[in-house]
Amino acid sequence: MNRRPLLQIAAGLGMAAALISAPALAQDKTIKIGATGGPHAEILEQVKKIAAKDGLNLQIVEFSDYVQPNAALAAGDLDANSYQHQPYLDAQIRDRGYKFVSVGTTVTFPMGVYSKKIKALKDLKTGARVGVPNDPTNGGRGLLLLQAQGLFKLKADAGLSATPLDIVDNPKKIRIVEIDAAQLPRSLDDLDAAAINGNYAESAGLSPIKDAIAMEAAKGPYVNVIAVRGKDKDQPWVAKLLKAYHSPEIKKFVADKYKNSVIVSW
């Protein structure tokens, strides 16, 4: 009996098995996606359930600040992250040289102004201390919100990256205190008011609808995005992730849980 054809057949079957198993292994890969704690992570937990039905396994990794999720993505410790708006992502790419791209939008958390000392911004006294996030894009966002409330005026060309140095008319001599965005809710005891990102407000038990004394307009440039490394943007799992996130189930979850504090982009 000639064993060579049998060996050739066996080798062919082994190769076929390898070709069949390779896609299966690729589908079984767990995708690690980073998010800040609170609503971003809570929404992703729901996305995870929907994605699993489509064969996509997600692992959600929570962070307590805005810096580490991008550092982890760049290092390869994450496959994606979902926590930042486009202006912040653009600034990170520009300042740190990250090779990231946005592959889809998620939700907007309108920034609000909160205080434990006053009920309305008109009650701020001369020289009041008002906190804003200390990163360039969210700091500028806070200043624009405060300007919209009539506290002061910024230079006409200050734009989204406005800083306290761009304040040109400040009748109440408001003192701007720049603090890490995640720490602002804890700093309210030491401030007269603070402009706080919606996700950190929610995480601290503050309701933008009930507790904010001023609120950013819902429509604006600060819709959050899902970011991946540029080389991964066309991977099949990216499309599955977006399909799960942009599902009717997630839209309903956001509406039911967060009311008007979180606004979907689709």
Angle, vertex CA 111, rays to CA 123 and CA 44, nearest 5: 150
pLDDT score at 13: 46
- Per-residue pLDDT at 22: 42
Residue 10 has pLDDT above 80, yes or no: no
Average pLDDT of 181-194? 97
Calculate mean pLDDT across residues 232-254: 98
Question: Please, what is the average pLDDT of the chain?
Answer: 91
**Predicted local confidence at residue 260, as pLDDT:** 80
Residue 40 pLDDT > 70: yes
Span 152-164, average pLDDT: 96
Q: Residue 201 — very low, low, confident or very high, per pLDDT cuts 50/70/90?
A: very high
pLDDT score of 153 more than 80: yes
**Residue positions counted in the chain:** 266
Query: Could you tell me the pLDDT band of residue 209, with boundaries at 50, 70 and 90?
Result: confident
Cα 73 to Cα 68: distance, rounded to the nearest angstrom: 8
Taking only the tens place, the pLDDT of each residue in 59-114 is 999 999 999 999 999 999 999 999 999 999 999 999 999 999 999 999 999 999 99
Q: What is the mean pLDDT of residues 183-198?
A: 97
Q: How far apart are CA 236 and CA 240, in angstroms?
A: 7
